[in-house]
A and B are shown apart, each in its own frame.
Chain A
Amino acid sequence: MCGIVGLFLKDKALEPKLGAMLSEMLVSLSDRGPDSAGIAIYGAATGNEAKITVQSPKPDRDFRGLDAELAKAIGAPVSVAVKSTHAVIRTTPDKVDTAREALQTLRPDIRIMGAGEAVEIYKEVGLPEAVVDRFDVRSMTGTHGIGHTRMATESAVTTMGAHPFSTGADQCLVHNGSLSNHNNMRRELIRDGMKFETENDTEVAAAYLSNRMAHGKNLGEALEGTLSDLDGFFTFVVGTKNGFGVVRDPIACKPAVMAETDQYVAFGSEYRALTKLPGIDNARVWEPEPATVYFWEH
């Protein structure tokens, strides 16, 4: 099954409530997937700061003293904000790649959840409620975000197997469904320089989109490509620095419902996820068409 949600705010007044709204949406779909949950939240990009969200199986050991050691290694200021098993490392945008490399040496057990100017990604094994509480997602502000609660079908229930998957700066993806040509596609993408952390099919979809956008496609064009290049069942919800997109495979057996008002565009696997959004009773509510790309950008 799996449950996915997405929320793209048009009304700035709602931005302080993004984390709370998205959390509510995700928790309402808990019975669609009890294995693991995750959320990606996009804050406003300032242009002079980059964020790397990392995870450690031993946060006490790995995050202690990391700011000073990493700052010394990359020769730039670094701050580290720890949230449970995750930490958000802030530095200057030009030092992100250097920092990623330095982390491999300084803290080999650390896994990178995602990086960019706007995105922070939190995911763990457990129910959405537990994951949302653990990372205090409800207090987070932002412009848009996506979330996922997983019922695993084709790869292990681990932190790294949880969604969202991020394979490019400020890009991430959540997926309901299963892909059947992911092994072949992974090999093709590796040949083109993409890197993978897991055996998971969804990571391949995320990397496919990142790869196409790296080749100059915009989000809409990259999503369009999934319809011919990815085989299997999928409803994808995708986030980028300033955008949010949705696409369903041509068979469209994975459920999806969307709502739009003057204040937001929202996505849920089911209508249940949308019922507590402000003004939902008067929102335009519709089921996204199969094989049709929808995206919104700020």
Chain B
Amino acid sequence: MPANTMSKAERDQSHARVFDLSQHTLRELNQALHKLTPGSNETAWEVLNPKGSHSVAVGVDQPVSIDVRGSVGYYCAGMNDGAAITVHGSAGPGVGENMMSGSIVIKGDASQYAGATGRGGLLVIEGNASSRCGISMKGIDIVVHGNIGHMSAFMAQSGNLVVLGDAGDALGDSIYEARLFVRGKVESLGADCIAKEMRPEHLELVQGLLDRAGVTGVKASEFKRYGSARKLYNFNIDNADAY
């Protein structure tokens, strides 16, 4: 295809720096990514043969795009700060842990504690996420096309979790101010997590996140909102007998 008929993304892809993990070590990959400086021309990366490796593309702090061709193990894209990382496969535990900014897209499923403690950016899981998705999230936005497992959004502090499918047991246990939006069934709500009214600003928020996550054919009005009843925030003297 002649270069002038390519989209920007395709042009980037054609010049992508390819890193084959069957030929190079994981450390070489991550060190090369960490050496990137602002304004670098190496804005597109492709990682081949991850084969379940741990810690693929962790700690990237430049706005580059990284396509990982295959499934990854623990902690992929952790601490991401500005990169657009796509995993063309499934991810093991702790994907996108403590993300600061940027985006991560998982084309398959994600294992437990996806997006844990994330402070910013957008994590999209196109399959299902298992237990503890968004645990202790602190500002990250997470969109899951499928279902999420039990204890998701445990102690979630801020940010938004949008789930197109169902949620498992104890959703939002001990939640602070994160907003949870679930389209399907919720197995059970955790302590101090309650259903709340979808106001116009929430519809707008969910629609914006669906758009950013590339979700089509789903309306924001199909979601229910869950959040904190704010009853665990302060010690209640009436509960003194329980201690």
Contact = CB atoms under 8 A, between A and B. Distances in A.
A271 B52 contact: yes
A159 to B, nearest CB: 30
Contacts of A271: 52, 71-73, 90, 92
Contact of A255 (B51, B72, B111): B111
Interface of B: 51-53, 71-74, 90, 92-93, 108-109, 111-112, 130-131, 149-150
Contacts of A275: 51-52, 71
If over half of B's interface residues share one DSSP class (helix, strand or loop), that class is named, otherwise mixed; here it is loop
Contact of A252 (B73, B92, B108, B112): B112
Interface in A259-297: 270-275, 285-287, 289-290
Contacts of A73: none
A228 to B, nearest CB: 16
A257 interface: yes
Nearest to A285: B90
B130 A287 contact: yes
Contacts of A252: 112, 130-131, 149-150
3 smallest beta-carbon distances between A and B, as pairs: A272-B52, A271-B52, A275-B51
A253 interface: yes
A294 B111 CA distance: 18
Dominant SS among interface residues on chain A? loop
A142 B39 CA distance: 57
A286 B109 CA distance: 8
A287 B51 CA distance: 17
Nearest to A255: B93
A289 B147 CA distance: 12
Contact of A272 (B73, B93, B109, B112): B73
B149 A270 contact: no
Contacts of A290: 131, 149-150
A161 B52 CA distance: 29
Contacts of B111: 255, 257, 287
A30 to B, nearest CB: 13
B90 A255 contact: no
A176 to B, nearest CB: 13
A270 B73 contact: yes
A247 to B, nearest CB: 15
Contacts of A287: 109, 111, 130
Given A252-B130, A285-B90, A287-B130, 8 more contacts: A252-B112, A255-B93, A270-B52, A271-B71, A271-B72, A272-B73, A275-B51, A290-B131
A272 B53 contact: yes
B155 to A, nearest CB: 16
Nearest to A271: B52
B92 A270 contact: yes
B87 to A, nearest CB: 12
28 contacts: A252-B130, A252-B131, A252-B149, A253-B131, A255-B92, A255-B93, A270-B74, A270-B92, A271-B52, A271-B71, A271-B72, A271-B73, A271-B92, A272-B51, A272-B52, A272-B73, A274-B52, A275-B51, A275-B52, A285-B90, A285-B108, A285-B109, A287-B109, A287-B111, A287-B130, A289-B149, A290-B131, A290-B149
